[in-house]
Copies of this chain bind each other. A is one copy, B any other.
Amino acid sequence: MSKSILVTGGARSGKSVIAERLTEKMGDRLIYIATAQAFDSEMEARIKTHQDRRGPQWSTISEPLDLVAALRQSDGQGPRLVDCLTLWTSNLMHHDQDVESAAKDLALAIACQSSPVVLVTNEVGAGIVPENELARRFRDEAGRVNQIIAQACDALYLAVAGYPIKVKPNDIEL
């Protein structure tokens, strides 16, 4: 059975590096599925930093919206790292797509993969309620995506200051 892992955390919590290490442990040829699109120079710099850190064993697929297709197309070629679901949520909202239904489709696709999948997402709900209505809706959607994908994955880690806390599986019975 293939392994699926979700890594969540705040901004600059080290979640991408943790996810890269977890992916690298599962294969030699690695596929980076980027949901980011460079709209401005700030974004471009962030993408560049992430790319420079990854070594030559990585190839990149850019897919802002259709992650199910990206997983299907890359399955059997090695472990995939999807970075990140929060940007994907934002992209879906920008294109007026139904986020919850897209997340459920992605959850199903994850369960069907033969190669491993590691996914990165963000904690965005632990601050004060945003005054902006769109920000509140985004926060709700992003949190729902995290829950749906966490349920579909074998493992869930929370990144704090560069170190992971294992959240799932745990020994808490509910």
Contacts and interface: CB of A to CB of B under 8 A. Distances in A.
Given A21-B174, A139-B128, A161 B13 contact: no
Of A18, A123, A138, most buried by chain B (CB within 10 Å of CB) is A123
A52 to B, nearest CB: 15
Interface string A148-166: 0111000011101111111
B170 A164 contact: yes
B163 A170 contact: yes
A22 interface: yes
Contacts of A163: 150, 156, 167-168, 170
Interface size class of A (residues with CB under 8 A): 35 or more
Nearest to A14: B147
Contacts of A33: none
Contacts of A10: 123-127, 143
B142 A12 contact: yes
A11 B161 contact: no
Of A12, A18, A22, A161, most buried by chain B (CB within 10 Å of CB) is A161
A115 interface: no
A142 to B, nearest CB: 7
A129 interface: yes
26 contacts: A6-B161, A8-B161, A9-B125, A10-B127, A10-B143, A12-B139, A13-B146, A14-B147, A22-B174, A25-B173, A123-B160, A124-B127, A124-B129, A125-B126, A126-B127, A143-B161, A147-B161, A150-B160, A151-B162, A158-B160, A158-B165, A160-B167, A161-B167, A163-B170, A164-B172, A165-B170
